[in-house]
Structure 1
C-alpha cells in the first residue's frame, strides 16, 4: 500500500466546501495539485499567504491580488478568484444559528413579551430595551428606539432610499431578487445578524 501512495494521491481531491477546513498549502484543492509540492517553500513568499492558512483565509482575507511573472502563480491567483466567488455564494452556510433565529422570527415564534403574556397573564409586556411600548416582534424589529438605531447604523447605507423600520416592508425587501448579489447578501446577512444579537 505504501508503495502505491504516490500513484494514489494523484486521484485524491479535497473539496473546498466553506474553505475553513481546507489547507491552502497542504490539501489538494487546486486543479494542478498540492501547492506546497508544486511551488515548494518559496511559494509562501511568492504568494504572500501564511503557511498555516486555510483556503477561506487566503481567499477571503485582506490581500491584494498580485500579478506574477510566472504562469503557474497567475493560474493560482485566477483559481483563487473563482473559489472566492463560490464561497460568497455559499457564505450563508457559515452561521446557521443566525438563520435559525431568523426563521423563528419570521414565523413569529420568538419568546417576545406579547407571546409570554398569552401564557402568563400577570407579566409586564413593556419592551425591556426602550421601556416605551409593548414588546412584540414588530416592535422589537425595528420599531424600538434601541433596535432601530442598530438597524439604521448597519443598513441605511445598503438600503439607501428603500430604508425602513417596518417589519413587513423589510421582509418584502428581503424577498426581492432584482438586487445585485453582494448587496442582497449584505442585506440578508445583516438582517440575520441583528435579529440574532437583539
Structure 2
C-alpha cells in the first residue's frame, strides 16, 4: 500500500458533486491528496488534462474518461477511481471540508484547531500560569514572558551581540545588568517587589524564576482572588522596572523608589 507524507492539503478535503468547482490537480479530492504532487509535473501530460482542469473534465457521459496508465502512481489513481463515482449533476455542487482536532472533516473552518494541528507543541513551562491567565494585562504579560525566557535586551546581552554599552545597572549603579540582577537582585528592584509581595504572602523570594514558583505554590482554590492579585503584582512590578530602566537610559529621566511604588499601586 502506498504511503504518503502529510501535507497542508490534508487539512482541506473536497467531496466531488458535479465536478464543476473542484480542481482536478490542486484540490484534495482523492485519497492521494493533490494529484499534481502525487503524479508530478508530468501528470497533466500523462492524463491529457490541462493544469486548470476541473474534475468534471476527467469524465464523459457519467463515467471516468482517462487514458491508460503510464506510471505506477497513475495506475494507482485509475484503480482508485473504479470505486469512485464520476461527477454527476444529480449530486449537487462540490463541497469542501476542513479537518478538526479529532481528525474529522467538517464544513466549518476553525483557525484555532487548524493551527493546533500545524504547530509543533513544546512542553508547557512551569511558569506558564504566571504569565497567561484570565486577568492578565497583555503588555505586562509580554514583558514578563520575555524576562522569564531571558530575552529582554539587557546590557549583558547587548554586549554579547557585540555592542559597546556600559555594563552597570542603571537602577542601582552596582553590579552588571542581567536578567537575574534586574529581577530582583538589584537593591532598587528588590525593595519594590518585596514591599508589595510581602503584604500578600510571607517571605517572597528575590529571584525571577523563584518568585514565579513561589506564586504558584500559593495558588489554592480558596485564594483565587489573592492569587490573581499577586500574579498581576508580579507582572506590574517587572513591567514598571523595565519601563523605568529604559526611561533612565533613553530619556535621561529618573523616578524615585517612592514614585515608582505609587505608579505600581495606581496600576494595581
TM-score by length of structure 1 reads 0.50
Structure 1 residue aligned with 2:205, among 164, 169, 173?
164
Deviation at 1:173, TM superposition (A): 1.4
How many residue pairs get matched? 107
Q: Give the Cα–Cα distance (whole angstroms) in 2 for the partners of residues 111 and 122 of structure 1.
A: 13
Question: Are residue 185 (structure 1) and residue 228 (structure 2) matched?
Answer: yes
Report the 3-state secondary structure (helix = DSSP H, G, I; strand = E; otherwise coil) of the residue aligned with 2:201: helix
Q: Give the Cα–Cα distance (whole angstroms) in 2 for the partners of residues 102 and 167 of structure 1.
A: 9
Deviation at 1:175, TM superposition (A): 3.1
Q: What's the counterpart of residue 135 of structure 2?
A: 91
Structure having the higher helix fraction is 1
Deviation at 1:146, TM superposition (A): 0.9
Residues 36-185 of structure 1: pairs in structure 2 closer than 5 A: 90-92=134-136, 95-120=137-162, 122-160=164-202, 162-176=203-217, 177-178=219-220, 180-185=223-228
Deviation at 1:122, TM superposition (A): 3.1
TM-score by length of structure 2 reads 0.38
Structure 1 residue runs without a partner (length 5+): 1-88
Q: Give the Cα–Cα distance (whole angstroms) in 1 for the partners of residues 163 and 239 of structure 2.
A: 27
Q: Deviations over 1:152-174 (max 9, x none)?
A: 121111121x3121223212113
Report the 3-state secondary structure (helix = DSSP H, G, I; strand = E; otherwise coil) of the residue aligned with 1:164: coil
Q: Deviations over 1:136-186 (max 9, x none)?
A: 1111011111111111121111121x3121223212113333361112111
Asked if structure 1 preserves the Cα contact closer than 8 Å seen for 2:159 and 2:165, the reply is yes
Q: Give the Cα–Cα distance (whole angstroms) in 2 for the partners of residues 98 and 122 of structure 1.
A: 29
RMSD (Å), alpha carbons: 1.8
Q: Which structure 1 residue ranges, 4+ long, deviate > 6 Å from structure 2?
A: none
Deviation at 1:121, TM superposition (A): 5.2
Structure 2 residue aligned with 1:197, among 231, 240, 253?
240
